[in-house]
Structure 1
């Protein structure tokens, strides 16, 4: 395969996004046909936005606990995550700016993992051996947080998201920092999650998100989007712990469903992740850098 063929292959993959964002590839639609096409496009765009997360979590099913080719499972998962990331950049399904943002999510998530698994906290643990563990945490773990950021970034572009009545950026930043800080401080000074959640509820009460599945704009409360994304992350967490990727203390002897309260934790993390993405989009608009 020549360099020209390789470039052409990457271009064809990127053309998928262009086609999905075409306003009327099927022409004018009415009635039940419109519902079917719009629902289909919504599902395809969701799947496309979840590409990184979907491929990464698929590897959790496929990589055996014993690892592959004498490599421990956690190391194999890191290689797969990096390969997916490089593939998305090569295929132009992700820009370098988006990759940098996802790297930021990786760092933020990994720092949280190190703290939560430390000896004095032990909120959860990674029981398997790996060569790529740092401070007792496998390096692939940061990609689980990066997957959330990747989804929001990709969905923003594919659905042409527009945020209405967004709160002041400084206020959104304060709430996001409070959410992140509470993940650390609640082990020492009490859990203020619900107070922070109440602040977020008031802050985003009027905020709506407009998105375009096909050729017409649809609207939903942004808070509902936070809760729904948090729910699906909670489901993914149940799948991951079932396959022994990590374990909570009550899952050491035998697997049990992840506590429903983690749903709220993930929803709060989505608020924080969304705030970072919104800031990056806001900064790019102000300095007039095209997407």
Structure 2
């Protein structure tokens, strides 16, 4: 009985963490089914994303600090999108005025919604990491992973080498999370895979509703190739590492501030 109660609480919290991605998927479905002649679809999606972000801040579901992190992912994702569209990896076939090099600006929010999910999960599940690797090693790993998304068009794709490095680097790292009053843990590498798998499922839904289209989906929709899970696995790693590092830096600054105030009080 306790298992099912925890499962229900866990599922409900996960749903709350997915508010931003959920709104994006709902908007993709509605704008696919309902055509508004006075505004291009991709521009309407951009407006919806902007309003969603504003409302999340207004109602306190996200903080201004979290918004800064989310916008970092927006830029990272948009740059990657521009490059991938230029290389013909996928395209955005629908109309839109707010585009950069064929990439609608709303697409960056699909990446930032992942960061939003991570920030929400961090709070709702009270996440804690143990045996976090050396900051310089994981920074180098992030840069290399991101670079591989660009360079594999010209040289060998090192994704499997990078995945092995991830498994080695995070082999002792666990994430602790609370469901109700119960604290659970799992290997961080496994959590990367779980998130990547669900993003892959979401990608299939998004491409079905025309968020973007791979070359083999232009004539008729077909499922996204399962190999894309490895791409999301690596991208999720970048996302979690950046969020985690910024959280750690903030915690360290807060501790330093508290210590300084205590020392000043004693004097």
| TM bucket, shorter chain | over 0.9
The match for 2:102 is 136
Q: Report the alpha carbon displacement of residue 64 of structure 1 after superposing the two structures with TM.
A: 2.9
The match for 2:131 is 165
Partner Cα distance (1:171, 1:67) in 2: 49
Partner Cα distance (1:231, 1:37) in 2: 24
Partner Cα distance (2:127, 2:226) in 1: 29
The match for 1:19 is none
The C-alpha deviation readout for 1:122-147, integer Å capped at 9, x for no partner, is 10000112011111100000001001
Q: Is the 8 A contact 2:17 2:117 kept in 1?
A: yes
Please state whether the residue corresponding to 2:153 is helix, strand or coil.
helix
Please state whether the residue corresponding to 1:189 is helix, strand or coil.
coil
The aligned runs of 1:219-230 (5 Å cut-off) are 219-230=185-196
> Normalising by structure 2, what TM-score?
0.93
Partner Cα distance (1:41, 1:174) in 2: 37
- Could you tell me which of 183, 192, 196 is aligned with 2:162? 196
The match for 2:88 is 122
Tell me if 1:76 matches 2:44: yes
Partner Cα distance (1:115, 1:65) in 2: 29
Tell me if 1:89 matches 2:75: no
Structure 2: tracts of 5 or more residues without a match: 258-267
Q: Is the 8 A contact 2:32 2:210 kept in 1?
A: no
Q: Report the alpha carbon displacement of residue 35 of structure 1 after superposing the two structures with TM.
A: 2.5
Tell me if 1:185 matches 2:129: no
Q: Is the 8 A contact 2:28 2:210 kept in 1?
A: no
Structure 1: tracts of 5 or more residues without a match: 1-31
The aligned runs of 1:20-169 (5 Å cut-off) are 32=1, 34-64=2-32, 67-68=35-36, 70-118=38-86, 121-169=87-135
The match for 1:216 is 182
Q: Report the alpha carbon displacement of residue 69 of structure 1 after superposing the two structures with TM.
A: 5.2
Question: Over aligned residues, Cα RMSD in angstroms?
Answer: 1.3
Q: Is the 8 A contact 2:176 2:185 kept in 1?
A: yes
Please state whether the residue corresponding to 1:127 is helix, strand or coil.
coil
Partner Cα distance (1:152, 1:74) in 2: 25
The match for 2:209 is 243
Give 4+ residue runs of structure 1 displaced > 4 Å after superposition. Answer: none
The match for 1:269 is 235
Partner Cα distance (2:34, 2:12) in 1: 34
Partner Cα distance (1:77, 1:67) in 2: 12
Partner Cα distance (1:267, 1:153) in 2: 18
> Normalising by structure 1, what TM-score?
0.85
Q: Report the alpha carbon displacement of residue 36 of structure 1 after superposing the two structures with TM.
A: 3.1
Q: Report the alpha carbon displacement of residue 65 of structure 1 after superposing the two structures with TM.
A: 6.0
The match for 2:250 is 284
